[in-house]
A and B are shown apart, each in its own frame.
Chain A
Amino acid sequence: MEYVLSFLSLYFLTYLLLTYLEEEWEEPSSVDMPFVTVLIPAYNESENIKGTIESALGIDYPAYEVIVIDDGSTDDTAEKAEKTGVLVLRQKNAGKADALNNGMSHAKGEIIATLDADSYVDPKALRYMVGFFKNPRVMAVTATMKVMEERGMLVRMQKAEYMINNLFVKIFSLLDSVIVTPGPFSLYRASVFKKLGGFEGRTLAEDNEMALRIQSRNYLIKSSKKAVVYTKVPKTLGALFRQRKRWYVGYIENLRRYRGLLSPRYGELGSFILPVATMLLILTLTKIMIDTMDTANNLFQGTAMEESYFMQPFQFLTIASLTVGLILFFISILESRENPSISMFLHLFLLMMLAPIMYTYAFLMRAYEIITRRSARW
């Protein structure tokens, strides 16, 4: 299994690197400025809502509206939103998907932008993103996500992770293989919701579900390097673990639903990106379980751990894939226009150490929920 895992990792990362080096990046400009509705779903975001709305109102774009949908907040989120003068829709608590669908039913825009209530959008974002809709097959456009805060080890670890994720999303965009339209800020052609239906409430990751739904109909999702949204990230391990559980479990459940995407019909997405990414996730989880059991067995029996006096080929493949990964990370730092520093690599390394624990936690918790027949919780 180590051979398969290390081979696939190296193959995947090398392919992404070659794609980045070979393909030319285009950010189409737009003369047309279609009307945009910015939807801000909010639940108990009293601390953040004013800043988010102000960033939305500060967008440099000639034709747009802002609608806040208060999803039954128990604090003064709705009142604070109303004071800013934007349209505020109030509803009973029903979840983010319902809130967005509610907002869409009041939207006038040809383009719908979704903005999380704890995120701030860059003023030029809309101008950079709408140009992609010149291609009639483009149904959604994502922005570059950056972490808002700087303080805290956990925040810096996620900042490093977001940098490399942004690069991966750009490369996926070149391969027409974007599989998430992130909640912090994404644009959709309004007509896609008429064709495909609104956001799905029964999933843990509605942004991933919508993206896979769009892809399954052979539409395109693009990503803008220039458009930026700043978002808050979990500051505690507990909050981070809960977030990642939602993401990982949501991804697998959505992929099961859209398993028809695993087909050469969908080009690189169906024949390479999705299958390989999924296999890597499954193999990593399996390896973690096996290694944990081996270690526990060795400790119980008092036997020595496996030794080696020389490198196995799979270890060489692993070193090579780590090297390619580091090169990609270095590129992502430059793309983010940050100054590379040793601490960034250290933070990414720490997050990579944490990742297997988060995967294991996510799937064990989901297994527990399935066994005890509890519905999945955020």
Chain B
Amino acid sequence: MVREINIKRHVAVLAIVTLVFIIGVFIGMRQGLDAVSALGQDYESISMSSAMMDTLYLVEDSGMNASESCEVYSSLFERFSSDISDFNHRMWVLEEQLGKRDPALLSLKDKFNTLEVRNYLLLKKVDRVCKENHTVILYFYSNKNYDPERDQGEVIQQVIRKNETIVYHFDTDIPNPSVEMLIKKYQVFVTPSIVVNDKMYSGFQDKEALEKILEGLEE
């Protein structure tokens, strides 16, 4: 007895499933564009906050007493460090989904790197004027030699106490004069590398090593 296979029905089902898949691809792409757009809006918002903090430079230059604004700037920096952390995390998630070479993400990251450098320099000024001592980590990385087993960013997130440490992420693959200035200043030759309160630590620092570095700051 010959058992039949209904080829027409299989072709119809294959067509339906393929169509569903294609619709899924389009929906995903659309959502991806929306997610990048939302991240772009976040960048604009953070950029605006940063612009407000820039006035500290002008206050000091004008001869006014900048230290009277210290309380305001401290709280702004706390919020800003949280915004940076969220932004970098969302950037990382989108890079995982869209790819690290996505042009829209690269452009956004480039602008954000510049914003981070500006904010870092302002933070140093705030610490000087307000006599504060924030723990700051500059994290330099490259996606070209990314090793998921040695993800410095992941280690930093595991170790730091978020309210007390500000972390700036710099993608060294993107040509950015501001970032290159920091690379030259801290003699960053290898990625990943971190600079913790102006001290350079070259190469991957595992959890234990990073904990020791941060404990050393407390002493």
Chain A interface (Cβ within 8 Å of chain B)? 7, 10-11, 14-15, 18-19, 22, 137, 176, 218, 264-272, 301-303, 307-317, 320
> Does any Cβ of A come within 8 Å of B161's Cβ?
no
Taking A264-B5, A267-B3, A311-B24 as known contacts, 18 extra A-B pairs with beta carbons closer than 8 A to each other, sorted by chain A number, are A7-B17, A10-B17, A11-B17, A14-B16, A14-B17, A18-B13, A218-B1, A268-B5, A270-B3, A301-B158, A302-B158, A303-B158, A309-B32, A309-B97, A311-B27, A312-B28, A317-B21, A320-B24
> Does any Cβ of A come within 8 Å of B51's Cβ?
no
Residues of B within 8 A of A18 (CB): 9, 12-13
Distance A22 CA – B28 CA, assembled complex (angstroms) = 33
Distance A190 CA – B8 CA, assembled complex (angstroms) = 37
Q: Is the pair B3, A11 in contact by a Cβ cutoff of 8 Å? A: no
Residues of A within 8 A of B131 (CB): none
Q: Is the pair B35, A310 in contact by a Cβ cutoff of 8 Å? A: yes
Residues of B within 8 A of A19 (CB): 6, 9
Residue B31 contacts which of A176, A264, A301, A311 (CB distance < 8 angstroms)? A311
List 14 contacting pairs A-B, 8 Å CB cutoff, sorted by A. A10-B17, A11-B13, A14-B16, A18-B13, A268-B4, A271-B5, A303-B158, A307-B93, A311-B24, A313-B21, A313-B28, A316-B23, A317-B21, A320-B20
> Does any Cβ of A come within 8 Å of B34's Cβ?
yes
Using known A-B contacts A308-B97, A309-B35, determine if residue A15 contacts B9 with beta carbons closer than 8 Å. Answer: yes
Q: Is the pair A316, B20 in contact by a Cβ cutoff of 8 Å? A: yes
Residues of B within 8 A of A176 (CB): 3
Q: Which residue of B is nearest A16, CB measured?
A: B13
Q: Is the pair B17, A310 in contact by a Cβ cutoff of 8 Å? A: no
Q: Which residue of A is nearest B20, CB measured?
A: A320
Residue A317 contacts which of B6, B24, B154 (CB distance < 8 angstroms)? B24
> Does any Cβ of A come within 8 Å of B90's Cβ?
yes
Q: Which 10 A-B pairs have the closest CB atoms?
A: A267-B3, A316-B24, A310-B31, A313-B24, A309-B35, A15-B13, A320-B20, A313-B25, A307-B93, A14-B13
Using known A-B contacts A11-B14, A15-B10, determine if residue A310 contacts B5 with beta carbons closer than 8 Å. Answer: no
**Could you tell me the dominant secondary structure of chain B's interface residues?**
helix
Residues of A within 8 A of B93 (CB): 307-309
Residues of B within 8 A of A264 (CB): 5
Residues of B within 8 A of A14 (CB): 13, 16-17
Q: Which residue of B is nearest A3, CB measured?
A: B21
Using known A-B contacts A311-B28, A312-B28, determine if residue A265 contacts B3 with beta carbons closer than 8 Å. Answer: yes
> Does any Cβ of A come within 8 Å of B94's Cβ?
yes
Q: Which residue of A is nearest B12, CB measured?
A: A18
Residue A10 contacts which of B1, B9, B10, B20 (CB distance < 8 angstroms)? B20
Residues of B within 8 A of A271 (CB): 5
Q: Is the pair A309, B3 in contact by a Cβ cutoff of 8 Å? A: no
Residue B3 contacts which of A268, A307, A320 (CB distance < 8 angstroms)? A268
Distance A137 CA – B2 CA, assembled complex (angstroms) = 12
Q: Which residue of A is nearest B3, CB measured?
A: A267
Distance (whole angstroms) from the CB of B88 to the closest CB of chain A: 13
Q: Is the pair B31, A309 in contact by a Cβ cutoff of 8 Å? A: yes
Chain B 136-195 residues near chain A, CB threshold 8 A: 154, 158
Distance A176 CA – B31 CA, assembled complex (angstroms) = 43
Q: Is the pair A267, B4 in contact by a Cβ cutoff of 8 Å? A: yes
Distance A313 CA – B158 CA, assembled complex (angstroms) = 31
Distance A85 CA – B62 CA, assembled complex (angstroms) = 112
Residues of A within 8 A of B3 (CB): 176, 218, 265-270
Distance A310 CA – B94 CA, assembled complex (angstroms) = 9
Distance (whole angstroms) from the CB of A270 to the closest CB of chain B: 8
Q: Is the pair A310, B32 in contact by a Cβ cutoff of 8 Å? A: yes
Residue B5 contacts which of A137, A272, A311, A315 (CB distance < 8 angstroms)? A272
Distance (whole angstroms) from the CB of A333 to the closest CB of chain B: 24
Residues of A within 8 A of B90 (CB): 309
Distance (whole angstroms) from the CB of A210 to the closest CB of chain B: 19
Distance A312 CA – B93 CA, assembled complex (angstroms) = 13
Distance (whole angstroms) from the CB of A37 to the closest CB of chain B: 27
Q: Is the pair A22, B1 in contact by a Cβ cutoff of 8 Å? A: no
Distance (whole angstroms) from the CB of A195 to the closest CB of chain B: 15
Distance A143 CA – B136 CA, assembled complex (angstroms) = 73
Distance A33 CA – B79 CA, assembled complex (angstroms) = 85
Residue A7 contacts which of B21, B31, B34 (CB distance < 8 angstroms)? B21
Distance A15 CA – B174 CA, assembled complex (angstroms) = 49
Distance (whole angstroms) from the CB of A160 to the closest CB of chain B: 26
Chain B 23-58 residues near chain A, CB threshold 8 A: 23-25, 27-28, 31-32, 34-35
